[in-house]
Amino acid sequence: MKATLVPLRLYAILALLFATVAEAQTAPGKNASPVPKFSFSNNLEEQEKQLATNPLLERFRVSRAELLKDPHYPRYHFSSPENRLNDPNGLSFWNGKWHMFYQGYPPEDPRQHWGHTISDDLIHWRDLPYAIYPDPERACFSGTVYIEEDRAIAMYHGTEVGSMVATSSDPLLLNWEKVTGQAVIPESVAGPPPLPNRIFDPSIWKVGDYYYALTAGQSADGPGGKSVRAEYLHRSTDLANWEYLHQFLEGDRYGMVGDDGACPYFWPIGDDKHILIHYSHTSGGKWLLGDLDKERMKFLATDGGNFNHGASGPGGVHAPSAYPDGKGGINVIFNMNPGFPSKGWNQLMSLPRRITLAPDDGFDPIRQEPAGDYASLRGKRQRIKNLALPANEEVVLKNIKGNTMELIAEIDPQSAQNIEIELLRSPGGEERTRLIIQPERGYNPRLFGLDEMKARRSARAVMYETVVTLDNTRSSVLPQAASRPPESDSFKRGKGEPIKLHIFIDRSIVEVFVNGKACVAARVYPGREDSLGVSLRAQGNGAKLASLDAWQMGSIYDED
């Protein structure tokens, strides 16, 4: 009897001790979130059953139904199902689906958690529960996701602690485990010079046996000792222990003083180039094109440009999330900053853009076109063909109107000084969002290479680009609707090449793709219910609208 009791008592004591230790190891820290968190099966069928009754998803459904009552809430651009959102994070392709994470702000704890949504086609997005919660970090800021054969690796900035790594391998990436449970690159510890204390927004990828982490920051080696963007490189073999290498950029002459290279995404593009898509808190979304020196692990920048053309706020393009499309291009999604104090929400995501390398013509090195199955949302098509645009007269398209539309137009500018298209136009013109096309009025330094200057002197017009400008300064009569300086992009147009416009209007956003080479986007907040019209005007001389196709667009949300 005694021989039996002693082991049982000892077992009970040890079990209690182990339970106490385990509880101490897993007990939430001071930054733990009160937002409900769930563990899910590793089986897809079981996961779907759990999601069908998940309380968070039901909360999202009720919340979004309320948000959809707001006339400015989008119908085919993704926005958070509850409260605010900020940067998109970790766009990636796993188990046959696109995953997008984002900085979400749960209403009961408005610190950044990683929200989560998935899509089959980059257009129809399905809400999932929050993926990554703060603790030990105060908040989960921006980062990327790298996909391996058997797992997804998220690396992101954990505020007040440093760079965090988490992994997941279940079918829908619902369960995440933080590597070491602590920051793997501490924020408060400086590395060898010139690494600063403050690095953030890590991007992760792998070459050979090494994982590489690219972190954003600044360097004081700009003109006059001013700060300019810098990217810092670490490497690791196990995700837990990281070695600092050096600054990653070389030959970067494409940024502005004050840029900081935030939210970097570094991917191969085309056959032999690499692209660094990133964000500057000074000047918005940006890109650098160049070559990766794999021996020295340096990025040699050979070209660069902008995704927005002014400050990112109010109402402008903000941070990117980017991932290869598997066909040599890159899909990128941006969050769009607000310009109006909407109740219960603020930002939305842009449509995905497919970025590809252009033919080597020396003028426009990248192409930008809308990505995803947006065509699946189209209603009945309306078409106009061969419409003359008399000089200096506004032509209102009587049967083309709406605030949730897609337009594809081809215009022959002929000898007009500029073409103006008004969108979301009220009948009396009190509200209007203007799109202005100015042929051969733009400047591009790529057109002025010294080795080609002599040849170009004989055809001066070839030295100038066509400019497209999106102007929201008269988009709204609402007193709190903020306008922004007009967004202007430019592109090289061949002799006789028509102007091809692809326009997306979705309640409080307008995005315009031009000839696959330029893109301008801005938030708009019409205050009148009748601001639905479309008009065209040719200035100085006449022009021709060769064709225009218009579709009313459906919703990606269940609005029953």
* C-alpha separations of 344 from 64, 70, 127 in Å: 10, 10, 17
279-295: pLDDT as tens digits: 999 889 999 999 999 99
The CATH number that domain 380-553 falls under is: 2.60.120.560
* Whole-number pLDDT of residue 27: 58
- The angle subtended at Cα 372 by Cα 112 and Cα 211, nearest 5°, is 55
Q: Which residues contact 96 (CB under 8 A, 6 or more apart)?
A: 120
| Of 399, 364, 459, 351, nearest in space to 78 by CA | 351
Would the pLDDT of 2 be above 90? no
475-493: pLDDT as tens digits: 999 999 999 999 999 999 8
| Nearest-angstrom CA–CA distance, 56 and 426 | 40
Largest CA distance in the chain: 109
Instruction: Give all strands (DSSP E) within 281-327, no chain letters.
Output: 284-293, 298-306, 317-324
pTM of the model: 0.92
* 221 vs 486, higher pLDDT: 486
The stretch 306-322 carries a mean pLDDT of 94
Pairing mode of beta strands 330-336, 273-280: unpaired
Q: Which residues contact 378 (CB under 8 A, 6 or more apart)?
A: 406, 551, 552, 553, 554
97-140: pLDDT as tens digits: 999 999 999 999 999 999 999 999 999 999 999 999 999 999 99
The CATH number that domain 190-306 falls under is: 2.115.10.20
Q: Tokens standing for 157?
A: 């900035």
Tell me the average pLDDT of the chain. 90
Residue 420's Cβ-side half-sphere holds a number of Cα atoms within 13 Å equal to 19
* C-alpha separations of 431 from 73, 397, 473, 478, 524 in Å: 18, 16, 9, 10, 10
20-70: pLDDT as tens digits: 333 333 457 899 999 999 999 999 999 999 999 999 999 999 999 999 999
144-164: pLDDT as tens digits: 999 999 999 999 999 999 999
Q: How confident is the model at residue 402 (pLDDT cuts 50, 70, 90)?
A: very high
Q: How confident is the model at residue 462 (pLDDT cuts 50, 70, 90)?
A: low
| Nearest-angstrom CA–CA distance, 503 and 554 | 15
CB 234 within 8 A of CB 244: yes
Per domain, the residue ranges of the chain are 190-306, 380-553
